[in-house]
Structure 1
Amino acid sequence: MKTLVFLSIVALSSAKPSLEKEFLHFLAERDILLQDPPQNTTDISQPEQISTAAPRADDRFFTCPLKCVCQVRVVQCSDAGLTSVPADIPKGTVMLDLQNNKIKEIKEGDLKNLPSLYALYLVNNRITKIHPKAFRSIKHLKLLYLSWNLLPQIPTNLPTSLLELRIDDNKIKKIQKGSFKGMKFLHVLEISGNPFDTTDIEPGAFDGVLRLIYIRMSEGKLSSVPKNLPSNLYELNLDHNRISSIEREDFRRYKDLYRLDLSYNQIKKIENGSLAYLPNLRQIHLENNAVKKVPASVRNLKYLQTLYLHNNNISKIEVDDFCPKELEIKKLHYSGISLYGNPVKHWEIQPASFRCVSGAHGVQLGNFKK
């Protein structure tokens, strides 16, 4: 098993730094490549394992596609100038790296002989089309990276076994109803850098998605907070969009949120009580907006530890803006509050305003510069 891990890392050594870092992190956290595929694909409650037995002759591990490097069950074909998926990929391949090529299409039969595939990297190609039956024979795929391509929509019939899907920086203009049909094990979705607005997320788009805990919809054209995402989200990233206000009902269904990123938007107004639906929130990013005052609900978030408010238009800090009143209890003290880049006069702030901040360096005020 140690040999498999080592060779997997070596196979990624020429890949993009971001992908290599993500792969190492995923490997350390989940040990995906050390596990065997389950016999029953309808139940993944038990740890999955991949057999590391020596390949048989009929596994075709004695051949390797031209311009690729094959190590045990890892096939690396990145930066090879490929215009299509190689036809002679070994049948027992667990990880296939095809990033940084010139592939335009994934055809119906391109992946048909890869039943053991766990991770497929197609980052930075020119893919505009994926055949609806391209993933038909792949039953154990967990990682699918389609970032930096030209896909106009989310591919249909994606493997329902996926744990992580990255499809950022494509040309997706709409998330249609049923886009993630049957993907009840999906944990991570990265769909940033696509030109869809909030109204382009159709009702029912996430029906059946039961375990999604991380979504990133950054660097897009969202004009408001989406209200029909899965309710069990743990982390929601909506930074670098066009959101101008936070309405009272925006976060009503996201009561499990731990981290929320709304930075680099155009937010001017945050309605009172809009954050009160997030009792478990630990971290909020509201920096680089046009907020004029500390959100009223902040002081009632008993577990909030980090609050980023720098580079806004806050001109005054009230004594109870951050901390609950005397009869109420804050379970965790702040470890950091950033307020620099605001027109607030720091000498007018009462010291009691930060009474629930731990440490002398927990507040960053800086100097306001026009």
Structure 2
Amino acid sequence: MRCIIWLLVFVLIVKFTSAARRPNQPITSCPSPCVCESIFCKSTQRRGRIFCAGVAASCFHANLTSFPPGVVANVTGLLLSNNSMTTINFDEFSNLTKLETLLVDNNLIHDIIINTRFKKLRRLSFKNNKIFHLPQRGFKLLKNLVDLNLEMNRITSVQGIKFPHKLRTLNLNHNRIRTLTSGSFRKLKELQTLKLEHNVIDFISKTTFIQATQLNVLYLSNNNLRILGENQFPQLPMCWFISLAENKIHEVHPYAFRLFGVKNNNRHQIHLESNALRFIEEDMLGLFMTEVRRTMYLFYFAGNPIFCDCNIQLLRDDAGLLLRDTHKMVCDSPRNLNHTTLAELNIEECCV
């Protein structure tokens, strides 16, 4: 149980002085069957007193069906994972004004009710529950939330959801989202990482990310995307990483990534592995073939059913490191080149 409590330790960043660190201090006034401890403890120079910077309460795997009453009011981290709770009503623990982290993973939650402001709550996780609908305005009351994990639920849409404006990481992996409409992530100007893998997304509006201007990392693998149109991602000037692997993409417009990451000087990664791309043509990569851009962008195409001919060999030679995984890009056709990697391809083989 003690190791589980330490899952909450990352919540606080404490600058220790030269004073000696001390073990966690048990708290007796804790609701059964939870375990409560004061964490980040150290000895002070004043009469050997112990100062602790946080309070962690672990009710992990405690057979709870509802929120446990009697949680100490000064708790900073609360673990309610691996129980059988079906509803969580933030009004029931509105007295926990110092709460910074709340983990409610692996329950049966289908209803989230938020009518109370929690000014210090920064990390919230509902991983692996049964959430179908999100509260339309409730999350907005958690105005200092920076990390929200909704992975492995049954969410079908995020349209109209008012997420906290200070959110930096949003995890929506393994849900049932089908479309990303215009402004789906409105006013999330501090969002840096967005995870949307393993959904059923088959449509992304060109204005989906119009106000998520600081987005750096975008995961969209394992969805049902088929075509990437012109200027598909025009509102991602700061993005340096995008994964579109394991979709059903068979067509990429030459200008699909024209404005992708144009204001970020990091080395950009565009992952298109394991799709349905048959032809990798110069038009698709033309914008990135300049001397400067070839050193700043990396494309990954392994796992596509590639047709190999003289054109793709010439493209390989011209592109250089722009095509990052030629040793994994395997020719699917013609038959005489089947199983040959693009890195191995030579002019005599592909032009017979």
**TM-score of Structure 1 vs Structure 2, range by shorter chain:** 0.7 to 0.9
The 1:95–1:226 alpha-carbon spacing in structure 2 relative to 1, beyond 3 Å, is farther
**C-alpha displacement at 1:99, in angstroms?**
0.8
Cα distance per residue 1:149-172 (max 9 Å; x no partner) = 111222232211110111122121
Q: Does 1:219 align with 2:198?
A: yes
Q: Which residue of 1 aligns with 2:173?
A: 192
SS of aligned partner of 1:320 = helix
Equivalent runs, 1:327-346 vs 2, <5 Å: 336-343=325-332, 345=337, 346=340
Equivalent runs, 1:202-241 vs 2, <5 Å: 202-227=181-206, 228-229=208-209, 230-241=212-223
Q: Does 1:157 align with 2:138?
A: yes
The 1:240–1:338 alpha-carbon spacing in structure 2 relative to 1, beyond 3 Å, is farther
Q: Which residue of 2 aligns with 1:320?
A: 315
TM-score of the superposition, structure 2-length normalised? Answer: 0.75
Equivalent runs, 1:127-138 vs 2, <5 Å: 127-133=109-115, 136-138=116-118
The 1:252–1:204 alpha-carbon spacing in structure 2 relative to 1, beyond 3 Å, is closer
Residue number among 64, 69, 81 corresponding to 2:35 in the alignment: 69
Contact kept in structure 2, 1:104 and 1:127, CA below 8 Å:
yes
AA at the equivalent of 1:313: P
Q: How far apart in 1 are the matches of 2:126 and 2:248?
A: 29
Q: How far apart in 1 are the matches of 2:228 and 2:59?
A: 45
Contact kept in structure 1, 2:74 and 2:96, CA below 8 Å:
yes
Q: Which residue of 1 aligns with 2:252?
A: 270
Q: Which residue of 1 aligns with 2:12?
A: 33
Contact kept in structure 2, 1:119 and 1:144, CA below 8 Å:
yes
Q: Which residue of 2 aligns with 1:41?
A: none
The 1:322–1:116 alpha-carbon spacing in structure 2 relative to 1, beyond 3 Å, is farther
How many aligned residue pairs are there?
298
AA at the equivalent of 2:29: T
Q: How far apart in 2 are the matches of 1:341 and 1:186?
A: 40
Q: Identify the range of structure 1 (140-149 vs 335-344) with the bigger mean alpha-carbon deviation.
A: 335-344
Cα distance per residue 1:68-96 (max 9 Å; x no partner) = 11111011111111111111111111111
The alignment-based identity, stated in percent, is 22
Q: Does 1:243 align with 2:225?
A: yes
TM-score of the superposition, structure 1-length normalised? Answer: 0.72
5+ residue gaps, structure 2: 16-20, 39-54
The 1:251–1:333 alpha-carbon spacing in structure 2 relative to 1, beyond 3 Å, is closer
Cα distance per residue 1:200-225 (max 9 Å; x no partner) = x4434422211101111111110133
Q: Which residue of 1 aligns with 2:4?
A: 11
Q: Which residue of 1 aligns with 2:97?
A: 115
5+ residue gaps, structure 1: 1-6, 14-19, 37-51, 53-59, 325-329, 352-370
SS of aligned partner of 2:60 = coil
SS of aligned partner of 2:299 = strand
The 1:335–1:250 alpha-carbon spacing in structure 2 relative to 1, beyond 3 Å, is closer
Point out the structure with max Rg over C-alpha: 2
More strand by share: 2
Q: How far apart in 1 are the matches of 2:71 and 2:160?
A: 34
Q: How far apart in 2 are the matches of 1:248 and 1:237?
A: 20
Q: How far apart in 2 are the matches of 1:299 and 1:291?
A: 20
The 1:250–1:338 alpha-carbon spacing in structure 2 relative to 1, beyond 3 Å, is farther
Contact kept in structure 2, 1:305 and 1:335, CA below 8 Å:
no
Contact kept in structure 1, 2:28 and 2:36, CA below 8 Å:
no
**C-alpha displacement at 1:34, in angstroms?**
2.5
